[in-house]
């Protein structure tokens, strides 16, 4: 075991480097996914058949063709068509498009779930369409969509583990070299724990965002109520919610 720790200390800079790359892929992919989700989620609600059809096609295409196929397409096929992408760019693009397509469905569904009265009220106040979306509908839909987005974010984080196949030295890739200096159980056990901690931190941040989003809507949650609802992971939320 001591030799394992020594090997880990020696390998630590490389492992941390891998963790950082995994975080970059996750956050980059999530940012792109969110942009795509909002654009296509809104387009998919359009009353114009052509616009809606276009959005649906894009969404179903990127949901249906498998993440790994998309990663390889951007990495192996695009260069043969004359477009060279940095592996990180290919990875982020594939993750963002794939999970963005899933998230677009979440955005669409959440916007649809905002009560009709809210839409009618914006008409009564003669708001423009942009005002209606930005100031009334989206903030309410946002609070509704966060739990599903949290799930997708964790899936995205887990999905990044495959990028070793396109020469990216992420956490999973680094575990393989750590394994050679230690053993399978140590290296991959540690790797799983790191991924779990990352996923847990992301969940806490998203929970805090949800508390904040609901608080902004003035939906009655005093801090105390928000705390008592989610007893196991209150620490971060309490801090976050107090700031907002």
In whole angstroms, the minimum distance from the beta carbon of 198 to other proteins comes to: 9
In angstroms, rounded to a whole number, what is the distance separating the alpha carbons of residues 94 and 66? Answer: 10
Min separation Cβ 181 and other proteins, Å = 14
Ramachandran angles phi, psi of 231, nearest 5°: -60, -40
Minimum gap (Å) between residue 138 Cβ and other proteins:
26
CB 215 within 8 A of CB 41: no
Specify the residue, 158 or 219, whose C-beta has the smaller distance to other proteins: 158
- Residue 34 · residue 53 · CB < 8 Å: no
Min dist CB 115 to other proteins, Å, is: 21
User: Which residue, 54 or 72, is less far from other proteins as judged by CB?
Assistant: 72
In SS3 terms, 4-26 reads as HHHHHHHHHHHHHHHHHHHHHHH
Considering beta carbons, is residue 106 or 175 the nearer one to other proteins?
Answer: 175
Task: Let me know: does 70 contact 97? Beta carbons within 8 Å.
Answer: yes
Rounded least distance, CB 81 to other proteins, Å = 7
Q: How far apart are CA 202 and CA 5, in angstroms?
A: 27
**148 φ, ψ to 5°?**
-70, -40
With CA atoms as reference, report the closest residue to 238 among 215, 151, 140, 196: 215
Question: In this structure, what token pair is assigned to residue 27?
Answer: 């956050």
Nearer to other proteins, 56 or 223 (CB): 56
Q: How far apart are CA 34 and CA 101, in angstroms?
A: 9
Closer residue to other proteins, CB minimum distance, 133 or 194 = 194
Q: How far is the CB of 141 from other proteins (least distance, A)?
A: 22
SS3 content of the chain, % helix, strand, coil (to 5): 85, 0, 15
Comparing CB distances to other proteins, the nearer of 46 and 57 is 57
Chain contacts with other proteins (rule: CB under 8 A): 60-61, 64-70, 72-73, 76-77, 80-81, 154, 157-162, 164-165, 172, 175-176, 179, 184-185, 188-189, 191-192, 195-196, 199-200, 203
| Cβ closest to other proteins, residue 138 vs residue 195 | 195
* Smallest separation (angstroms) from other proteins to the CB of 64: 4
């Amino acid at each position: 075991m001591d030799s394992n720790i020594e090997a880990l200390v020696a390998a630590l800079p490389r492992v941390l480097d891998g963790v950082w790359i995994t975080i970059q892929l996750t956050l980059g992919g999530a940012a792109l996914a969110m942009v795509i989700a909002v654009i296509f989620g809104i387009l998919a609600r359009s009353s114009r058949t052509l616009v809606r059809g276009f959005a649906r096609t894009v969404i179903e295409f990127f949901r249906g063709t498998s993440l790994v196929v998309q990663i390889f397409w951007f990495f192996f096929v695009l260069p043969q068509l004359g477009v060279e992408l940095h592996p990180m760019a290919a990875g982020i693009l594939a993750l963002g498009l794939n999970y963005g397509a899933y998230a677009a469905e979440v955005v669409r569904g959440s916007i649809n779930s905002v009560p009709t009265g809210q839409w009618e009220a914006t008409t009564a106040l003669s708001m423009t369409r942009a005002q209606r979306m930005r100031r009334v509908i989206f903030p309410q839909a946002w609070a509704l969509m966060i739990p599903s987005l949290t799930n997708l974010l964790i899936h995205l984080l887990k999905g990044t583990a495959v990028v070793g196949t396109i020469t990216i030295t992420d956490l999973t890739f680094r575990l393989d070299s750590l394994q050679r200096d230690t053993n399978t159980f140590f290296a991959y056990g540690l790797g799983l724990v790191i991924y779990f901690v990352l996923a847990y931190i992301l969940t806490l941040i998203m929970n805090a965002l949800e508390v904040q989003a609901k608080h902004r809507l003035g939906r009655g949650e005093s801090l105390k109520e928000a705390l008592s609802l989610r007893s196991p992971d209150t620490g971060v939320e309490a801090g976050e919610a107090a700031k907002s």
